[in-house]
Amino acid sequence: MDEITVHSPATVANVVCGFDCLGFALSEPFDVMTLRKIEQKTIRIKHHDDFGLPTHPGKNVAGAVLGSILDNIDADFGFDIEITKRIKPGSGIGSSAASAAGAAVAANILLGDRFSKSALVEFARNGEAVACGSRIADNVSACIFGGFTLVRATEPVADVISLDHPTLFAAVIHPQIEIKTADARAVMPREFPLTTAVRQWGNVGALVAGLAKGDYDLIARSLEDFVAEPYRKNLIPHYDELKTAGLQAGALGGGISGSGPSVFMLARTREIAGNVVNAMNRVYDKTEIAVNCYVSDVEKNGVRIARDVIHGQ
């Protein structure tokens, strides 16, 4: 096979209490990426979108990932990649991760599935470093593995764990403002009191248990964040009102997606998720802030070949 087209999904990172270690994949929106092997030892990148992203391989997220893979195998060929981004950069729902993970998975297919999913996460982290200066793993892990994932350790990545979970739907609202990941990290303290850390650990453990047991009430009680939300919420206009509206409409809970500005809420049914996103949208109807809204399943398979699911390792 010399050419492949994949759909690379948006993702929610942190999942409220799991800062830099929890994530899940969304079925909507997703990027479309076509990768071809070429005889020349180079990487050519073409974007079919209006986001003005760089096409130099060293400055492009997908290009950095492909370059690291070609270097790893000492390849005597190159890649041509065409990208249609449907996930807006800076949205907080894993735009850079979709580019990075999609490139890694597509290249692996063309190379005969020689790398494990965990190895693909390591390659994809090189793209995240280009995007935000840090080799974060939560978004790309969820994008590659699908479903809910927990990253136990990151230097290097060890134990990306796929988590069992009940049927859940996500209501996502993306106010059209920009929050850079570096800025969102800068507003957070470098150290936290032990009591805060203990409360956070308890919520992470309880959330994982709630997902595994299908205990919606435990999931709802565990969706509390004492580490990032108290500081980052001030970057998102009307955040408290937005979250209250979602909870009153029936959401289990939710919070900031990644570093924002998108906000997500989890719900038991698609109908409730639709009600939740409508309630959150009404908060911004009273402002001049434009928004994009999504109601999404949890994407169980991660990056996939156009219509056919990738099973991988």
**Residue in this structure with the two tokens 């134990």, named with its chain if needed:** 159
**Strand positions, DSSP E, 133-196:** 148-154, 157-163, 169-175
Residue 304's closest CA among 94, 4, 6? 6
Residue 128 bears catalytic tag: yes
Query: Which position among 122, 128, 229, 299 bears the catalytic label?
Result: 128
Residues paired with residue 151 on neighbouring β-strands, in sequence order: 160
- Sole residue written with tokens 């206009």: 237
Picking from 115, 100, 260, 251, the residue whose alpha carbon sits closest to that of residue 176 is: 260
Determine whether 3 is an active site residue. no
Cα–Cα dist 145/189, whole Å = 31
Q: Which residues contact 11 (CB under 8 A, 6 or more apart)?
A: 23, 24, 25, 26, 93, 94, 97, 98, 138, 139, 142, 143, 258
- To 5 degrees, how large is the angle CA 294–CA 300–CA 304? 90
Collapsed DSSP state (helix, strand, coil) of residue 52: coil
Q: Which helix (H) or strand (E) holds 64?
A: helix 61-73
The one catalytic residue in 11, 149, 181, 299 is 181
Catalytic positions, please? 128, 181
